[in-house]
């Protein structure tokens, strides 16, 4: 039976009256869901996956296995200086449904010696995508219908199968991510441990997550169509997955898997790993719920905090509806006051800096003047000393010259006396 509801409001919006009316015949608005579906199918959908995990744990291989095609991805190195996020977008189509898939990888996660801040680039990336969507939402001329949603819809957190529980880095990162994104933990390369060890590892991981209060994404059970399957899958966390794009021969058929000397691991065999369960829950059953949870929960939390920082609020202290113009003006005045305060602080800081610089220059000038006077005195003393030495040297030279003249005179007299004495003897002999 088709019915319609009409709600009428009084002038003061206090009294509500609902009336149910029966339609006498077919009107046609029951085709509205079909119209909506056709419009959405023509437009296409966006789905963004964030893969967080150590290098070499199988993130890229799992993505290729989930979607049944090989995605080109740059091989990551274990020697990254910091965590870098690499985003790649692909246009996929299944039957008439188009999907713009974005896969974000965390290169270098867990490879540094100090991993205390490894989660920060991941949080910054998630917030940056929220910020982009909010900026588009707040534009005067918006185009949200044709806007490719950049927000992260699900985070697959890859846990190493080596060990018996979670690492400290895993707990800290997952705790930081729980309020930002739909978090689904998976155990990568689950084929390297036995079934008993895998069972114990799953139990230990879930116990630690509960103990530290880490909230992971729970598949919804409100819809009767998927309540049963989602309830059963909610008990399978974390998913133990094995990825492979290679074909191996099992009997007379070729399947995706990994061949070992002791046998083959079939990635799509539920007795071997949880890949099929993850694909069913992630893509076939709950993809729209992941998108809805991202918008209604995680993005709304970011949006509310951001708008509160900007000064917006739903009601004032008197519980009256707020005015956007008044809020804008109040925030503008507040920002102007802050700007003036910062300008005055910078001016005062500049004046203080100039005074400090002048004081330092005067001190330097004083030191240079004292140094100049000191050098001047030293120069005068050295000059005076040199003058005295020159005068002493001249006196010595004069004395030496006098002694030399006297010596030369005596020498000449002696030679003259010696030359006259033989002549006298000769005269005496002649006489």
What are residue 55's phi and psi, to 5 degrees? -65, 135
- Strand pairing of 253-260 and 247-250? antiparallel
pTM of the model: 0.71
Q: CA 189 to CA 177: how far, in whole Å?
A: 23
Query: Residue 1: its pLDDT value, please?
Result: 36
Please give the Cα distance from 265 to 254 (Å, whole number).
Answer: 12
Q: How do residues 239-284 score in pLDDT, each as one tens digit? A: 999 998 888 888 888 888 888 888 888 888 888 899 999 999 999 9
pLDDT averaged per 10 residues in sequence order, the chain, 431 residues: 39 58 82 88 91 90 90 76 90 91 91 85 95 89 84 94 88 93 93 91 93 93 89 90 88 87 87 91 92 94 87 61 70 87 92 93 93 92 92 92 89 81 64 59
* Helices 120-138 + 168-177 axis angle, to 10: 10
DSSP 155: E
The confidence score (pLDDT) of residue 428 equals 64
- Compute the distance between CA of residue 133 and CA of residue 149 in angstroms, rounded to an integer: 7
Q: For residues 22 and 19, give the distance between their C-alpha atoms in angstroms, rounded to a whole number.
A: 10
């Amino acid at each position: 039976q088709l019915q319609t509801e009409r709600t009428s409001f009084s002038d003061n919006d206090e009294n509500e009256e609902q009336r149910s009316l029966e339609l006498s015949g077919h009107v046609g608005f029951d085709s509205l869901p079909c119209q909506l579906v056709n419009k959405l199918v023509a437009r296409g959908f966006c789905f963004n996956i964030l893969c967080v995990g150590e290098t070499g744990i199988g993130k890229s291989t799992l993505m290729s296995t989930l979607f049944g095609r090989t995605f080109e991805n740059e091989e990551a190195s274990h020697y990254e200086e910091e965590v870098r996020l690499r985003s790649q977008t692909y246009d996929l189509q299944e039957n008439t449904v188009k999907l713009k898939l974005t896969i974000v990888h965390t290169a270098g996660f867990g490879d540094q010696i100090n991993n205390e801040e490894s989660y920060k680039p991941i949080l910054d990336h998630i917030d940056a995508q929220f910020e982009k969507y909010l900026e588009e939402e707040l534009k005067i001329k918006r185009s949200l219908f044709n806007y490719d949603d950049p927000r992260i819809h699900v985070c697959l957190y890859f846990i190493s199968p080596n060990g018996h529980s979670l690492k400290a880095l895993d707990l800290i990162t997952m705790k930081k991510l729980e309020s930002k994104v739909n978090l689904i933990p998976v155990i990568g390369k689950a084929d390297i441990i036995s079934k008993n060890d895998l069972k114990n590892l799953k139990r230990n991981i879930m116990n630690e997550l509960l103990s530290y209060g880490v909230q992971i994404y729970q598949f919804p059970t409100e819809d009767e169509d998927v309540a049963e399957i989602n309830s059963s899958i909610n008990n399978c966390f974390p998913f133990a997955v094995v990825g492979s794009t290679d074909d191996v021969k099992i009997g007379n058929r070729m399947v995706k898997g990994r061949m070992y000397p002791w046998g083959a691991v079939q990635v799509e065999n539920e007795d071997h790993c949880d890949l099929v369960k993850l694909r069913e829950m992630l893509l076939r059953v709950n993809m729209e719920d992941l998108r809805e949870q991202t918008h209604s929960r995680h993005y709304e939390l970011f949006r509310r905090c951001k708008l509160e920082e900007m000064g917006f609020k739903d009601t004032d202290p008197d519980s009256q509806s707020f005015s956007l113009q008044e809020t804008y003006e109040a925030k503008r005045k507040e920002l102007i006051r802050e700007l003036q305060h910062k300008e005055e602080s910078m001016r005062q800081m500049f004046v203080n800096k100039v005074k400090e610089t002048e004081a330092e220059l005067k001190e330097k000038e004083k030191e240079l003047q004292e140094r100049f006077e000191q050098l001047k005195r030293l120069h005068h003393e050295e000059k005076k000393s040199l003058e005295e030495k020159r005068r002493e040297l001249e006196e010595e030279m004069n004395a030496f010259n006098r002694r030399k003249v006297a010596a030369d005179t005596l020498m000449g007299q002696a030679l003259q006396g010696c030359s006259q004495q033989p002549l006298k003897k000769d005269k005496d002999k002649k006489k």
